[in-house]
Amino acid sequence: MAAVRVYGDAETLSRAAAELFAERARATVAECGRFVVLLAGGSTPRRAYELLAQSPLISRVPWPDCHFFWGDERCLLEGHELRNETMVRHALLDHLSVLPSQIHPIRYHQEPEQAASNYATELRRFFAGQQPRFDLILLGLGDDGHTASLLPGSAALHEQVQWTAVARRPEESFSRVTLTMPLLNQGANTVFLVSGRGKASVLQSIVKGSNDVPTLPAQLIRPQQGELLWLVDREAASQLEEGYGAG
Ligand code: 6PG
C-alpha cells in the first residue's frame, strides 16, 4: 500500500513536493554523485518546479549533478507552449545554471514513432546498457486514471519490452510520446502529485482498489525496489476515508 499524504491546498502540496525533490537530490548526489529525475508534465507540478527555482530551495539542490528526463511529451515542435518541456523550462530550468547535456527532452520533428525511438535510444545511451533507474519519478494523474501518457485501454499500457510508445488522446490534434511501465516502475522514489476536486473520484478508486486487479493505468505504477508516495491536496482527497495522514 502506497503512502498518501494530504495537504491543505495546492500551494502546501507544491511546497512539499519541491522540498522532497530537493531532499532526494541532495541525498542522492551525496551518495552516488548524480541525481536522475523523471519529470511530470501537465499543470499540477508547475508550482513545485517554480518553488525549486527560487530561494530557499534553489540553493539547496546540487543542480550541476542533476539530469532531467520527461515521462511523456506532446508531439509538438520545440518551444510550443503546450509541450511539457516548455512548461518545465519556463518554471525551472531557465532559472538554473545547468548544461544542455543535463537536459534530456523528448524531441519531436516529424514522426511520433521516430521521436519515441530516438528517446529510447537516448535513454539506453544515458544508462550505458545498465538497468535504467530513476532516483525520483514525478507523475501526475488524469481524471480518467491515466498517468504520463498511458491512457486507459491503450496497448502501450501492457508494453513490457519497449521503453517508449506513441499515444494519442482522441480530443487532441497531436500525438504523444510516453515512457512505458518497464521504465515508469524503475523509480527509487515515485511520487504522484494530485490536486483538485476533479481528481477526488479517481483517486478514491485507486487508493481504495490498491490491492485489486489494476484497472487504471496509474494502478500499474508499482515500483520495483522503490517507494511509492501520493502527495495530494485536501480537495483531491475529499472522497478518501478519514485517517489518511495530513501532510
Ligand atoms: C500531460 C501529463 C499528464 C498529466 C495528467 C494530469 O502531458 O498532460 O503527463 O499525465 O500529468 O494529465 O494533468 P494535470 O496536472 O494538468 O491535471
42 C-alpha vs ligand 1 centroid, how far in Å? 4
**Grid coordinates in use for 88?**
518545465
pLDDT single digits (tens) 22-63: 999 999 999 999 999 999 999 999 999 999 999 999 999 999
* pTM reported for the whole predicted model: 0.97
Among 38, 43, 235, name the best residue to mutate to test ligand 1's pocket (greatest count of ligand atoms within 8 A of Cβ): 43
Exposure string over 89-128, b if 16+ CB within 10 A, otherwise e: bebbbebbebeeebbbbbbbeeebeebbbbbbebbeeebe
| Confidence grade of residue 118 (pLDDT, cut at 50, 70, 90) | very high
How confident is the model over 52-111, as pLDDT tens digits? Answer: 999 999 999 999 999 999 999 999 999 999 999 999 999 999 999 999 999 999 999 999
Q: What percent of the chain has pLDDT over 70?
A: 97
Non-local CB neighbours of 155 within 8 Å, separated by 6+ positions: 165
180 phi and psi, to 5 degrees? -105, 175
**Does ligand 1 lie within 6 Å of residue 41's CB atom?**
yes
pLDDT at 184: 98
User: What is the number of the ligand 1 atom nearest to the C-alpha of 193?
Assistant: 15
42 lines ligand 1 (CB under 6 A): yes
CA-139 nearest atom, ligand 1: 11
111 C-alpha to ligand 1 centroid (Å): 22
Q: Would you say 59 and 156 are in contact if contact means Cβ atoms under 8 Å apart?
A: no
2 and 229 in contact (C-beta within 8 Å)? yes
pLDDT at position 241: 78
Q: Which three cell numbers stand for residue 222?
A: 508499482
pLDDT surpassing 60 at residue 245: no
Beta bridge partners of 69: 38, 104
Vertex 223 angle, CA 117 and 210, to 5°: 120
Tell whether the model's pLDDT for residue 244 goes beyond 70: no
pLDDT over 70 at 161, yes or no: yes
Q: Is the CB of 148 under 6 A from ligand 1?
A: yes
Cell numbers for 54, please give them. 527560487
CA distance 48 to 201: 23
Indicate whether 2 pLDDT > 80. no
DSSP 241: P
pLDDT score for 214:
81
Ligand 1 near 121 CB (within 6 A):
no
Classify 128 in phi/psi space as left (phi over 0), alpha (psi -120 to 50) or beta: left
Evaluate: CB of 44 within 6 angstroms of ligand 1: yes
Question: Of all atoms in ligand 1, which is nearest to the CA of residue 147?
Answer: 10
pLDDT on residue 209 = 78
- Give tens-digit pLDDT for 170-229: 999 999 999 999 999 999 999 999 999 999 999 999 988 766 778 899 999 999 999 999
Q: Residue 247: what pLDDT?
A: 64
User: Which atom of ligand 1 is nearest the CA belonging to 176?
Assistant: 7
How confident is the model at residue 158, as a pLDDT?
A: 93
